[in-house]
Amino acid sequence: MEKSFQELDLSNAFLFAAALEDPETCRLVLEIILGDKLKPVKVHAEHSILISSDFRSVRLDIYANDEVEVNYNVEAQNKNEGNLPKRSRYHQAEMDVTSLKPGQNFNDLKPGYVIFICTFDPFGKKLYRYTFEERCLERDFPLGDETKKIFLSTKGKNRDEVPKELIHFLEYIENSTDAYVATVTDASISELHEKVRKLKKERNLEARYMTFEELLKSRERDGIAKGKSEDILELLEDYGSVSEELIEKISTEQNIDVLKKWLKLAAKVSSIEEFTQKM
């Protein structure tokens, strides 16, 4: 069952992006994750869906930097697609490319953190936090490129090895409710929850969420339709040349049930003519 905007947890990518687009909320979350106080943070809102009138380009990750010139990329992940290591590499490269102007010395590159907050265990070791940096394998010393990749998991089990504040934050990610916040004493979690509650009162943001949900559903429908169309045409190509008229008819059909019926038919017929007659 789909949740309404009021029922969303912070694990929802849309609400997460909306919350961290606020510089103070972003700084608060980074402080919880890194366990250190930070200077004021600037959030690069152009990377967020919330300020864009063109929903065709969807970006839900947050880019930020602080006054001591450190870059942060923070993203919520609810589905394990098995690509986070390479994805973290891509995000780091993207931050580096955009932070260094042509002709600048490589030593001018800023320190960078790529952070994924996952509602699954990305490495299967039952840790709340996985921190990676480049190191020499032969003598175990850091490369010194000033980059770190941090993967947080709400499914961690090593409660005695990480700060309680971080554990409570990860629990809050999946249970962003008044009831949960009443069970913890962390001032940071209460402050974060108050900011989330204010966001949920914004009618304009709720309307944008509904538009965004419709966009995702539309994209999913279009993706399924395109996949079915390609499957049908691939099967029919085994029988010979397919006319442009038939290609257009199949490719532009958006009714999933019709496409499924055609796909079954294409797998059974013995010629394109037979398919055309029975479709």
Tens digits of residue pLDDT in 176-223: 999 999 999 999 999 999 999 999 998 888 877 776 666 566 566 666
Based on the domain organization, do 28 and 158 belong to the same domain? yes
Average pLDDT over residues 153-166: 97
Based on the domain organization, do 18 and 54 belong to the same domain? yes
Residue 206 lies in a domain: no
Based on the domain organization, do 170 and 239 belong to the same domain? no
Q: Identify the domain boundary among 201, 226, 257.
A: 201
Based on the domain organization, do 173 and 221 belong to the same domain? no
Residue 117 lies in a domain: yes
Based on the domain organization, do 116 and 221 belong to the same domain? no
- Tell me the per-residue pLDDT of 229-279, one tens digit each, with 9 for 90 and over: 877 887 777 677 777 788 878 877 777 778 878 878 887 787 888 888 887
Q: What is the pLDDT of residue 52?
A: 40
Residue 263 lies in a domain: yes
Q: What is the pLDDT of residue 48?
A: 44
Based on the domain organization, do 149 and 110 belong to the same domain? yes
Domain, as residue range, for 234: 212-278
Residue 239 lies in a domain: yes
Sign for the pseudo-dihedral over CA of 50, 55, 60, 65:
negative
Based on the domain organization, do 100 and 126 belong to the same domain? yes
Average pLDDT over residues 124-150: 96
Based on the domain organization, do 186 and 218 belong to the same domain? no
- Exposed / middle / buried, residue 34 (Cβ in 10 Å: 0-12, 13-18, 19+): middle
Q: Identify the domain boundary among 201, 222, 257.
A: 201
Residue 162 has pLDDT above 90, yes or no: yes
Q: Identify the domain boundary among 162, 181, 201.
A: 201
Residue 154 lies in a domain: yes
Q: What is the pLDDT of residue 255?
A: 78
Q: What is the pLDDT of residue 118?
A: 95
Based on the domain organization, do 227 and 177 belong to the same domain? no
Based on the domain organization, do 180 and 267 belong to the same domain? no
Confidence of residue 63 (pLDDT cuts 50, 70, 90): low
Based on the domain organization, do 85 and 192 belong to the same domain? yes
Could you give the number of structural domains in the chain? 2
- Tell me the per-residue pLDDT of 45-61, one tens digit each, with 9 for 90 and over: 544 444 344 433 344 45
Residue 97 has pLDDT above 80, yes or no: yes
Q: What is the pLDDT of residue 150?
A: 97
Based on the domain organization, do 185 and 222 belong to the same domain? no
Q: What is the pLDDT of residue 208?
A: 77
Residue 247 lies in a domain: yes
Residue 207 lies in a domain: no
